Chain A
Amino acid sequence: MALFEVAGGVHPKDHKELSAYRAILGVPLPAELCLPMHQHIGMAAKPLVQVGDLVSKGQLIGLCAKGCLEGGGSNTAITAPVHASTSGRITGIEMQRAPHPSGLSEIMVMLEPDGADVWGELPAPLDPKTSSFAELVARIQQSGIVGLGGAMFPTAAKLETRTRYDLHSLIINGAECEPYLTNDDRLMREQAPKIVDGISILQHILNVPEVIIAIEDRREQAAEAMRAAIGLREGMKVVLVPTRYPMGSEKHLIKALTGQEVPAGSLPSALGMIVNNVGTAHAIHKAVRYGQPLVSRIVTVSGGAINNPGNFEVLLGTKIGHLVELCGGFSQTPEQMLIGGPMMGVPFSDLEVPVTKGTTGILALTKTEVKPGIHRPCIRCGACIPACPCGLQPQDLFVLVSNEKIEPALEAGLADCILCGACAYVCPSHIPLVQFYHYGKGQALLMRQEVARAKRLKRLADERLLRAEEKARQKKAKQEARKQAIAARKKAQEAQEAQEGEGKA
């Protein structure tokens, strides 16, 4: 299949050789699991269990009250339930530090495994061929499945777009463009038939004739395994895309595969397409065929400071420190620890934070890998412009945001920035550009909220005024009516008196 040119992008050293040859291993049960109630985009779940409760593996322990258990409706709230990753006892429900750069705390359910690790009562397997769209989407919703490529967007809500848009293509994202990460690569090499089954289920749900599985051209073994698993299935094919960052960005992947650009501010469904990650397809296979909710995911542990890098199937809620220990600990003090890849990952320093549904990798990088530099003034070299995959002028946005000119920055395309970091990667002045864009986007959000708040206040004030006027008018009308009534009565009385007078006379 002919590919289309995507402008921009960079070629960072991928370091995938550190973990690409390590098969996915299980992880011994840790002493304690720590399950955040907010592992997805949207509303946080609320704990359904109490301290001391015994739970089985796969038992629902967190749900957003507004969450739509029935599913299938067009008003599905954006949220995802949380399940117990193993069987055991709830030892605490407390605020703990979340795996997020803010270091803020959120509600977590602490679970002490009993060691049995047995599944509880699971919903019956579904046959995708005979199940309805609503049944399948509800199953995916109830299984807590979110985008496992790291975005964590509830998958059921994404699939709902079928009811609103005319879809024709499903794109499966196996283009793992972040350096170091090999979790999708290994999953495709080892579990291709299950992934392909998950993809078929997705294809059936979305009722699309075409499925494209995009894999980086350097991941030949993964592509081979997927091709073999696809076999003679119709409408499904593997397409190799150039190994370049950020090829895994869904909008850029679509451009490379179809030559079409998703309009600014729109979703891929605007073009009749929908993009899902290979890991998500795997989770859907397990949820539909076995009724198993999402309780684990594949995580790459890598980086120059890790003794034995590898790929693991990790129970959600496992503390990162447990994984690092499993990898033989650190070979040296890491310069930087990250959740996710080095281009867009989130820094962390507390080994007590847990693996969540969005943890694609855990990296411990050395100084030579991070290459920290002194932040110098911009010399307008323009290296960031050809690097930007979104056609922006990163140096302009930087100047605007650093001068607090948020409105002009938005006009210059700040909202179109995907925060991929390609600009900052090539910047010879080591300017932390993405940090400025994060700030600018944050300020823009505050401005929008402020405008919305002002509008709301104005509306409320207007309504109050209207109500007061209405009340005054009603009062006046009432008074008027009363006056008239009195006048009428008086008249009637007078008339009667006159009549009576006449009568007497």
Chain B
Amino acid sequence: MSRAKIISAPFTHATTSVPRTMLLVMLALAPATLFSLYQYGWPAIILFFIILASSLLFEALSLLIAKKPVTPFLLDGSAVLTGWLVAMALPPWAPWWIGVLGGFIAIVLGKHIYGGLGQNIFNPAMVARIALLISFPLEMTFFMQPQPLFAEHSPSFMQAMNLIFGGGINIDALTSASTLTQIKVLQFDGQSIEGATGLVGDLQTAMLGALPGSMGEMSALLLIVGGVFLLLMRIISWHTPVAMFASMALIASVAHFFNPAYHPGVLTHLCPGGFVLGAFFIATDYVTQPVSNTGRLIFGAGVGLLTFLIRAYSIFPEGVGFAILLMNAMTPLIDHYIKPRIFGRSKSGEPLASKQPGGGVQ
């Protein structure tokens, strides 16, 4: 970051900037987030702001330690967005220390250890989610039936404070397993999942959002609305999400066709918001996905495939986070091999053949 006088053209600029990009992504996340906050009530709202605040705090501390200018970097919006995505990837009623730890892992271990904005290999929010999931499996899979604000069972502000900071959660009656967890349980028991569709909820609830899960899994529909907004604003390219959806749809439908007792249908894979959130907001993270459009197609397809494999054959019910991190690790390799052809050169980099005997060399 410097304000040194530029002596080289161009002396005009498109209306793009890093803060604008971050702001538009937050705008796209807003509908799904507001709906989730409403559905999960005060505990979710309190946790959300704990995560944002801790992310900003850790960002400021990291910048101070790295001796980088604090204000311009804090105001670029990247730390707020990372914190926001961490919040979307956590259970909405998680205790406060999960939130603070999430902010720490994402900002410090996920981003600044590598050198700060633009330098990290893995998506910080996913690093936080997966590190927490492995370290604290109980807290991280403690999902609730949605309890909308002001509804009968919705906790009041004080109750919510108690819940988040008190630690003791004794509201077992309201807890529930997410759809994918229920399927995983059946798969482990060797039972057919075919008869269990009533149990896992129907497509409509999944789309609109009344199923238990992480905060960002709430409403696939509102996440799609946000994703389409980002596509229209040209903040993200279609390649990663489309490749992700297409590869997952293809593999899941083939698997379901051959073994419907073990593999759920395509929509069960696509509709809980986790996959949609991952496709539009996590996998499309500029820093950690390939830079070329062809590379992004490969990347997205890889995420879809790995998500399916993890969901179907590992002990984890949900695999989007793992899949994205694994493909993040592949990004440098993809970028190394997928390069555009240079003007006037062949694919291998040799100058094109001249039509003149002399070659017309400059």
Binding site for B on A (CB under 8 A): 7, 10, 12-13, 101, 164-166, 179, 251-252, 255, 261-272, 336, 338, 340, 342-347, 365, 369-383, 385-386, 388-393, 395, 411, 413, 416, 421, 424-430, 432, 434-435, 438
Contacts and interface: CB of A to CB of B under 8 A. Distances in A.
Contacts of B18: 376, 379, 428-429
B358 to A, nearest CB: 6
Nearest to A166: B356
A391 B355 CA distance: 22
A382 B291 contact: yes
Given A164-B358, A381-B286, A391 B341 contact: yes
B9 interface: yes
A310 B169 CA distance: 75
6 contacts: A10-B14, A263-B352, A263-B353, A265-B351, A345-B11, A376-B117
A459 to B, nearest CB: 23
B17 A373 contact: yes
Interface in B1-27: 1-4, 6-18, 20-21
B359 A270 contact: yes
A342 to B, nearest CB: 4
Contacts of A375: 1-4
Contact of B13 (A272, A370, A385, A395): A370
Interface stretch (B174-182, B183-191, B303-311, B342-350): B342-350
Contacts of B3: 374-375
Given A375-B2, A385-B340, A424-B9, 18 more contacts: A164-B358, A165-B358, A262-B360, A264-B352, A265-B361, A268-B360, A272-B356, A336-B11, A344-B9, A373-B13, A379-B117, A381-B286, A385-B292, A390-B343, A392-B340, A393-B292, A413-B345, A428-B16
A344 B1 CA distance: 23
A434 B13 CA distance: 13
Contacts of B119: 377
Contact of A380 (B7, B118, B237): B118
A484 B292 CA distance: 81
B153 interface: no
Contacts of A270: 354-356, 359-361
A390 B340 CA distance: 9
A376 B118 CA distance: 10
Contacts of B13: 370-373, 424-425, 430
Nearest to A269: B360
Contact of B342 (A255, A346, A365, A392): A392
Contacts of A429: 17-18, 118
B362 interface: yes
A267 to B, nearest CB: 5
Contact of A272 (B353, B355, B361): B355
A265 B15 CA distance: 34
Contacts of B117: 376-377, 379
Nearest to B339: A393
A262 B344 contact: yes
Contacts of B20: 428
Q: Which of B10, B14, B18, B342 has the most CB of A within 10 A?
A: B10
B72 interface: yes
B20 to A, nearest CB: 7
**Shortest Cβ-Cβ A-B pairs, 4 listed:** A270-B360, A421-B10, A382-B291, A435-B8
B76 to A, nearest CB: 7
Given A164-B358, A271-B360, A428-B17, A342 B344 contact: no
A269 B340 contact: no
Nearest to B116: A377
B356 to A, nearest CB: 5
Contacts of A336: 11
Contact of A382 (B286, B351, B359): B286
B245 to A, nearest CB: 20
A269 B357 CA distance: 11
Nearest to B331: A380
Contacts of B291: 380-382, 385, 393, 395
B343 A264 contact: yes
B343 A428 contact: no
B287 interface: yes
Contacts of B9: 338, 340, 342-347, 421, 424, 434
Q: Which of A251, A268, A413 has the most CB of B within 10 A?
A: A413
Contacts of B11: 336, 338, 342, 345, 347, 365, 370
B6 A264 contact: no
Nearest to B72: A374
B8 A377 contact: no
Contacts of B72: 374, 376
A435 B361 CA distance: 26
Contacts of A271: 354-356, 360
Nearest to B21: A428
Nearest to A422: B10
A283 to B, nearest CB: 24
Contacts of A13: 12
A263 B351 contact: yes
Contacts of B293: 386
A169 to B, nearest CB: 12
Contacts of A380: 118, 286-287, 291
Contacts of A424: 9-10, 13
Contacts of B356: 165-166, 269-272
Q: Which of B9, B116, B118, B237 has the most CB of A within 10 A?
A: B9
A263 B343 CA distance: 8
B286 A12 contact: no
B262 to A, nearest CB: 39
B46 to A, nearest CB: 31
Contacts of B355: 270-272
A435 B7 contact: yes
A374 B12 CA distance: 13
A271 B356 CA distance: 7
Contacts of A369: 12
Interface in B193-212: none
Contacts of A345: 9, 11
A413 B341 CA distance: 10
B272 to A, nearest CB: 29
A258 to B, nearest CB: 12
Contacts of A434: 8-10
A344 B10 contact: yes
B82 to A, nearest CB: 12
A379 B354 contact: no
B10 A425 contact: yes
A264 B351 contact: yes
A473 B267 CA distance: 92
A42 to B, nearest CB: 14
Contact of B344 (A164, A261, A376, A425): A261
A436 B118 CA distance: 18
Contacts of B292: 382, 385, 393
Given A270-B356, A270-B360, A430 B17 contact: yes
A432 B116 CA distance: 20
A7 B344 CA distance: 12
Interface string B70-99: 001000100000000000000000000000
Nearest to A341: B9
B1 A379 contact: no
Given A269-B360, A430-B13, A413 B8 contact: no
A276 B90 CA distance: 63
Contacts of B12: 12-13, 179, 342-343, 365, 369-371, 425
